[in-house]
Amino acid sequence: MQEFITANLPYLLGGISVGGQYALIAVGYTMVYGILRLINFAHGDIFTVAGFFMVYLNATMPVAVSLPLTILLIIALGFSVERVAYKPLRNAPRMSVMISAIGVSYLLQNLMWYVTGGLAKQYPTIPWISSSITIYTATTKMVTLVTPILTIVLVALLVQLINHTKIGMAMRAVSKDFETARLMGIKIDRVISATFIIGSALAGIGSILYFSNYTAVTPTAGAMPGLKAFVAAVFGGIGSIPGAVIGAFIIGISENIIKAVGLTTFSDAFTFALLIVVLIFKPTGLFGEAVNEKV
């Protein structure tokens, strides 16, 4: 038994840590979808841009300055993406808003290509998080432990905000019924901006954790984690924050188990297969509330 643990501990740790990082991104997807019914394709790229901000800022500033500045810049980016690309399309057909999201994702990726030249950049080592420690027999980085804890704390804070603050109530109202909320005098644009700000901030934190674990930052580094996080959000029931977090952990851990078992060629394919199976039995995801048409 002891030998089994030493062999598989790294997989489990890796799974939990990547699960946490997916969770921080997935929450962004779920919140934006809950409010706007929009799959924010650009969210994965905002995650990558956060990585590059950190690389470029840290080259000239100490970590204590570059870290918060990266979060601020990412929030500004998330906010402006919403104002430029989604606000004008407030009452456009849903498909056009989707294309606008894909357009922003294209734009961010190609801008990163153009500015960085495409070569992988080494993510700066953040003093405390990236130092390595050994748990039992597996050596890994501090970030593997920090991620799950930080994720749960942040999500708990967010759930408190959603349930017990004015802006939180406004968000819940808007996600339930967009038009009526607007009629009730809720300033829609402010609520939506707040959603993007929170979503981007969490994605920024997620990217710091993610890139200190996987330190090569390339323009398309955020594409796959973004997609996995979205799958996690849908898997957990899109629109429900706890669902997104739990979905993310399940996907993170199952992905690593697949790699341990040795079927790695299909680890990504397995994630999608898992999603399709769940959707067959629970068409709106694990925790999503079944929305039935009012006839």
Partner 1 sequence: MIGAAKFKKLFALLMVLTLMLPAFALGETAYAGTIKIGVYEPASGDNGAGGKQETLGVEYANFVAPSVTLSDGEYKVELVHADNQSSTDKAPSAAQTLVSADVSVVLGSYGSSVSIAAADIFDQAGLVAVGLSCTNPQVTLGNPLYYRVCYLDPFQGTVLASFALEEYGAKKAYTLAMLGEDYGVGLVNYFTEAFKAAGGEVDGETFPEGTSDFTAYLTTAFNNGAEVIFAPTSTPYAAQIITQAASNGITIPILAGDTWDNSVIVEAAKTTDVKVSVSTFFDEGDTSPKAVEFVTGFKAWLNANPDKLVNNGGNDGIAGVTPLGYDGYMVALEAIKAADSADRDDIADVMAGITYDGVTGAIVFDENGDAIRDQAFIKATENVAGTWTFVKVQGIIK
Partner 2 sequence: MKALKWTGGILLIIIAVALLVSSISAQSDLEGLLKRLDAQNVVDLNPKMLADRDRVLESHLDNDRDRTLRNLDRYLERHGDLLLLEGTHALELTAFRSGPIVSSVGVLLMAIGAALLATVISGKAAVRKAALYAVGIVLLYVCVYVVEQIAGTSSMLVTVLKKGAIYALLAVSMNLLNGFTGLFSLGQAGFMLIGAYTYAMFTIPVESRGQVYQYYAGGLIQFQMPVILAIILAGLVAAFFAYLIGLPVLRLKSDYLAIATLGFAEIIRAVFQYDGLGPITNGSNLLRRFTTFNSALFPFIAVGICILLIILLINSTYGRAFKAIRDDEVAAEAMGINLPQHKSMAFVISCFFAGVGGALLAMYQTTVQASAFKASMTYEILLIVVLGGMGSVSGSVIASFLFIAASEWWLRFLDAETVIGTFEVPLLRSGFRMVVFSVIVMLVVLFYQKGIMGDRELSLDMFKRNGKEKRGGRNA
Give the nearer residue to partner 2 in terms of CB position, either 37 or 190.
37
Q: Segment near partner 2 (CB under 8 A), from 91-99, 179-187, 210-218, 242-250?
A: 91-99
Rule CB under 8 A: say whether 122 interacts with partner 1: yes
Check: CB of residue 79 under 8 Å from CB of residue 201.
Answer: no
The partner in contact with residue 256, picked from partner 1, partner 2, none with C-beta cut-offs of 5 to 8 angstroms by kind, is partner 1
Rule CB under 8 A: say whether 147 interacts with partner 1: no
- The position carrying tokens 């981007």 is 200
Whole-angstrom Cα distance, residue 19 to residue 248?
5
| Tokens read off for 90 | 């407030």
Bridge partners, 138 (sequence order)? 135
With vertex at residue 85, the alpha carbon angle to CA 174 and CA 290, rounded to the nearest 5 degrees, is 35
Rule CB under 8 A: say whether 96 interacts with partner 1: no
Give me the sign of the Cα torsion angle 105, 108, 112, 115: positive
- The position carrying tokens 């607007």 is 182
CA atoms in the 13 A half-sphere facing the CB of 199: 37
3-state secondary structure of 134: strand
Nearest alpha-carbon partner for 151 in 13, 292, 20, 1: 20
Q: Choose which of 5, 68, 118, 190 interacts with partner 2 (CB under 8 A).
A: 118
Q: Total residues contacting partner 1 (rule CB under 8 A)?
A: 44
Check: CB of residue 174 under 8 Å from CB of residue 168.
Answer: no
Q: Choose which of 230, 241, 246, 250 interacts with partner 2 (CB under 8 A).
A: 230
CB of 221 to partner 2, least distance (A): 15
- The position carrying tokens 């030493």 is 6
What does the per-residue mask of binding to partner 2 show for 233-262, with x meaning CB under 8 A? -x---x------------------------
Check: CB of residue 79 under 8 Å from CB of residue 193.
Answer: yes
Whole-angstrom Cα distance, residue 202 to residue 208?
10
What does the per-residue mask of binding to partner 2 show for 6-45, with x meaning CB under 8 A? ---------------------------x---x-x-x----
Rule CB under 8 A: say whether 111 interacts with partner 2: yes
Whole-angstrom Cα distance, residue 189 to residue 182?
10
CB of 88 to partner 2, least distance (A): 5
Q: Segment near partner 1 (CB under 8 A), from 115-123, 159-167, 180-188, 190-198?
A: 115-123
The answer for residues whose C-beta is within 8 angstroms of residue 6's C-beta and 6 or more apart is 136, 137, 138
Binding site for partner 1 (CB under 8 A): 7, 10-11, 13-14, 18, 110, 113, 116-120, 122, 130, 132, 134, 138-141, 210, 213-216, 218, 220-221, 223-225, 227, 255-256, 259-260, 262, 264-269
Binding site for partner 2 (CB under 8 A): 33, 37, 39, 41, 85, 88-89, 92-96, 98-100, 102-104, 106-107, 110-111, 113-114, 117-118, 227, 230-231, 234, 238, 265-266, 268-269, 271-273, 275-276, 279-280, 283-285, 291, 293, 295
